[in-house]
Structure 1
Amino acid sequence: MESLSVLDASFLQAEDSDPHVSLAVGGVSIIAGPAPDYAELLEVFAARAQRIPRCTQMLRTHSLDIAPPEWVPDDSFDIAHHVHRMALPQPGSDAELFAAIATVMERRLDRERPLWECWVIEGLSEDRWAILLKIHHCIADGIATARMLAELSDPEDAAAGTYAGDIRAARKDGGPRWWGVRLSLNPFTWAPDVLRATLAAAGAVEHAVVGAAELTASVLTHPSDSSLNGSLSAMRRFSAARVDLADLALVHKVFAVTLNDVALAAITGAYRTMLLDRGETPGSEGLRTLVPVSMRSADDFDVTDNRVSAMLPLLPIDEPDPVMRLAIVHERLTKAKDSGQREGGSAMFAAAQSVPFALSAWTIRLLTRLPQRSVTALATNVPGPRGRQRVLGREVLEILPVPPIALHLRTGIAMLSYADRFFFGIMADYDAAPDVDGLAASVEEEVRRLAELARAAGSVE
């Protein structure tokens, strides 16, 4: 039996800390219609779910958290408990689809069964249907969730590559390694190699300690009050923004920044617009953002668990100029990466593995119950499939990522690349963010503005 890591279990404990929170992540595949026969779909999904161990396993917990929860087989597994069917009211537009997604995602998963659901959504306009896959965050991070969604696709598409191979954590070269230093295959050179590795190890430890200190200081910082942060209700709203990947790539090329920088700059500008529309003044300390970072190696793409750390950059919500805002985002993200925040977050969870589980579990429960106002937003980027996918021979037109919200963050944005498009899925508290559609529209407008400015700058050069 496999036990949950401290990181995996922390999502259960954070959910336990707030009755208004459901810590499930999701992905919505919008598919060209008509929808297949439901009985046929159920049979196919039953077979494909068997390929994913977590789909047929449930949690076994221990009293007082004396040991971490364990994955055990669900001896009474029934696919009908997990695959559900619903129809949208007419006209079946984005508004009806987004409302259905929010309703499904706001409800907690049943811990007496495997922690996932699949909703077949019919009645979309333009002869389309959709599949919403909902998975508890204790099972999978963004990359693992995308892989699970791909497993429900047709086999030849599930095996296709994703943009995940491009992430820095996935890059590696051959040969044995020691603390990040590649050892020569010639044993006579191992002594100097090990010396370099020892020095590298000392530097890595210092790097992680500095990063952990920066994360801690960021969490303890108290920014100016903002409507982006506060208590949550039990209801949710969902919206999405869609942009061309080519526009992001153009901005990336002209202004010499990363694609992630461009996406985060668009999000920063959209939050700025939201606050201005609410009559608030965007402050320099107002958008401390939780940015999960993948720690998954190329060998672990098919492993279903959480392999993430985090950075907490302060995004320049007070900067009115979009190009300057992009430059500041790039500078601050680069600084966060170089400071060791990613390694520091990973080191803190690694250290938690060495203490009794009960101590770490109750500490996390205590900390997640405390109100926090230092972090105001979530922005997570998930590399999606490069090529077009199909489900029972029908083309997947779009894939919308669905993040959870918790810890007094009233909005969360997940980003996902699929083929030639880039999608922003936005989850928000129902009462605190009735303007979530405006936030999505502003993200699209910010990308459009940056692309126009990039074209203008490129033509001048």
Structure 2
Amino acid sequence: MEQLTTLDAGFLEAEDSDRHTSLAIGGLVVLEGPPPDHPSLVSMLSTRISGCRRFIQKLQRHPFDLVPPRWVDDPAFTMDHHVRRVALPQPGGADELFRFVADHMARRMDRDRPLWHIWVIEGLADDRWAMLIKVHHCIGDGIAASHLFTGLCDDSGDTDAAGFAGHIRGARDTSPGLWQRLADVNVSPMSWMSDLWNVSTAIGSAAVRAARGTVELSAGLLHQGTGTSLNGPMTSMRRYSSAKVSLEDVNLICQAYDVTLNDVALAALTEGYRGMLDRRGERPLPESMRTLVPVSTRRSDALGQTDNRVSVMLPYLPVEEENPVRRLQLVHSRLSRTKSTGQRQAGSAFVSAANYVPFPVTAWAVRLLTHLPQNGVTTIATNVPGPSRTLHIMGRKVVDVLPVPPIALQLRTGVAMLSYADHLFFGVLADFDTMPDVDEFARSIEASVAHLVASAKRRKMIRERAERRRLSLVATG
């Protein structure tokens, strides 16, 4: 029996604070047809989930939340409670599929059973089928869920974990810490004295960064922003849409402008939000779009652990900027600045420290904070690295993997980004009544990347012409 961490349990408390919130994360997996027969599929899933204990465990809570909930084995576990088969109404296109996803992601999960479901979806156009995999956020974060998905695939044993780790900042930090080196008896006295000096210097520097990051995070969470229609109470219904762009195109933009994949993705979201505000007659201001960006703190030796290991950053998306290239450059500079201020370290330190606070205090604090109205943060955008090669389930090729984020805390939209094989997928979940233009938002993401690709190609062509001209001048003396 294992207790939930304060962060894991916090997702339960946040869900309880709003009856219209379901804090589950999802993945919509689209496969080539035909689908396997139901008994064979259930048998396969039963075998492959056996490697994850959380899939056969349920929550056990305690009176008055005196101690954190814990995971206990479910003696009544049966696959029939968790794997269902449905057929879409015709014509089985994106509208019908996304409506199904939105409806089922809005529903809360039964806490008397293990907190996951899989819907096998038939009737898709183009001879395809799909699976909607839904897991409560208290079980794990997006990276943990991505690994759970690969565990269901035929070639999961060959999946290179480093393919995930290479894109995760926490996982790349594999060097031994200073304290570990000081404990090494083989280190020479001179090296030991040097490391001791480095420890004292590093502690002072880290403390300053963490303090500065704490101030910025606190100000971002408590500051009342300009206010937009993207904040406010939510209904119990959702809308879902998705966008898909080529990783080759994204990499071209990264090389042309010396930015990261995350910069390109957030710049594309910025254009989408700018257009959404414009359609509603709202002026996109510099402080309109403070965005909660989760940052993984998961190390390479914990990639397969089912839990949450994240910190946060709170950058402003530059919706006030009209020029797409300038907007991309602003995203890059703002993210770079946010990283340098220590917000990630402060968030991680806060989460770690919370585990030492009596649970009734943290549970009460989460309930209080999640009940308070806020418009300092406008939306959430999370990026999860997925498998870098094409996968199969029971011999069927996995065509698309579309992420589905949760929304809560009066944030009426949320976007999850996931890379799979040769594409980057965006999944957008939004409140039904206040976000009727969610499909336009998704299309604007694709249009934004297309604009940046065209600009990157022009930039590359100009550079190549200049280089040819330089070489020609050198050759002619």
Same fold (TM over 0.5): yes
Q: Equivalent residue for 2:288?
A: 286
Letter in 2 for 1:160: D
Letter in 2 for 1:75: P
Q: Which of 440, 443, 458 is equivalent to 1:456?
A: 458
Letter in 1 for 2:137: H
Change (3 A) 1:179 1:137: farther
Q: Equivalent residue for 1:192?
A: 194
Q: Which of 430, 441, 465 is equivalent to 1:439?
A: 441
Q: CA deviation at 1:179?
A: 8.1
Q: CA deviation at 1:410?
A: 0.4
State the distance in 2 between where 1:206 and 1:181 align: 23
Change (3 A) 1:358 1:156: closer
- Is the partner of 2:224 in helix, strand or coil? coil
8 Å Cα contact 1:180/1:200 also seen in 2? no
Matches within 5 A, 1:388-403: 388-403=390-405
Letter in 2 for 1:227: S
Q: Comparing 421-430 with 347-356, which one deviates more in the overlay?
A: 347-356
State the distance in 1 between where 2:188 and 2:66 align: 45
Unaligned runs of 5+ in 2: 464-477
Matches within 5 A, 1:11-160: 11-156=11-156, 159-160=159-160
State the distance in 2 between where 1:256 and 1:289 align: 22
Q: CA deviation at 1:370?
A: 0.6
8 Å Cα contact 1:160/1:387 also seen in 2? no
Q: Equivalent residue for 2:240?
A: 238
Letter in 2 for 1:370: L
State the distance in 1 between where 2:222 and 2:181 align: 32
The aligned length equals 461
Q: Which of 251, 257, 264 is equivalent to 1:255?
A: 257
Letter in 1 for 2:131: I
Q: Deviations over 1:320-340 (max 9, x none)?
A: 011111111000000111100
Letter in 2 for 1:55: F
Q: Comparing 176-185 with 3-12, which one deviates more in the overlay?
A: 176-185
8 Å Cα contact 2:150/2:156 also seen in 1? no
Q: Which of 276, 279, 285 is equivalent to 1:277?
A: 279
- Is the partner of 2:111 in helix, strand or coil? coil
State the distance in 2 between where 1:297 and 1:98 align: 34
- Is the partner of 1:239 in helix, strand or coil? strand
Letter in 2 for 1:9: A
Q: Comparing 343-352 with 171-180, which one deviates more in the overlay?
A: 171-180
Q: Deviations over 1:8-32 (max 9, x none)?
A: 1110000000000000000111000
8 Å Cα contact 1:151/1:158 also seen in 2? no
Q: CA deviation at 1:184?
A: 9.0
The answer to whether the aligner puts 1:164 opposite 2:165 as a matched pair is yes
The answer to whether the aligner puts 1:343 opposite 2:345 as a matched pair is yes
Change (3 A) 1:220 1:173: closer
Q: Equivalent residue for 1:385?
A: 387
Q: Deviations over 1:18-74 (max 9, x none)?
A: 000000000111000000000100111111111111101111111111001111111
State the distance in 2 between where 1:377 and 1:12 align: 20
Q: CA deviation at 1:172?
A: 3.2
State the distance in 2 between where 1:253 and 1:183 align: 41
Q: Deviations over 1:57-111 (max 9, x none)?
A: 1111111110011111111110111111111001111111100000110000100
State the distance in 1 between where 2:292 and 2:182 align: 30
Q: What TM-score comes out, normalization by structure 1 length?
A: 0.97
- Is the partner of 2:123 in helix, strand or coil? strand
Change (3 A) 1:338 1:389: same
Change (3 A) 1:455 1:360: same
Q: Deviations over 1:231-276 (max 9, x none)?
A: 1000000000000011111111000111100100000011101111
8 Å Cα contact 1:83/1:120 also seen in 2? yes
Q: CA deviation at 1:353?
A: 1.4
Q: CA deviation at 1:221?
A: 1.6
* Identity score, percent: 49
Q: CA deviation at 1:349?
A: 1.5
8 Å Cα contact 1:176/1:183 also seen in 2? no
Letter in 2 for 1:313: P
Letter in 2 for 1:87: A
State the distance in 2 between where 1:101 and 1:18 align: 21
The root-mean-square deviation of aligned C-alpha atoms, in Å, is 1.6
- Is the partner of 2:166 in helix, strand or coil? helix
8 Å Cα contact 2:290/2:377 also seen in 1? yes
Q: CA deviation at 1:224?
A: 1.4
Q: CA deviation at 1:155?
A: 3.8
8 Å Cα contact 2:165/2:172 also seen in 1? no
Q: Comparing 326-335 with 174-183, which one deviates more in the overlay?
A: 174-183
Change (3 A) 1:254 1:370: same
Q: CA deviation at 1:225?
A: 2.2
Q: Deviations over 1:337-392 (max 9, x none)?
A: 11000111111122211111100111111100111111111100000001111000
Q: Who wins on radius of gyration, i.e. which is larger?
A: 2
Letter in 2 for 1:12: L
Change (3 A) 1:179 1:436: farther
8 Å Cα contact 1:249/1:259 also seen in 2? yes
Letter in 2 for 1:95: D
Change (3 A) 1:317 1:179: farther
- Is the partner of 1:166 in helix, strand or coil? coil
Change (3 A) 1:177 1:233: same
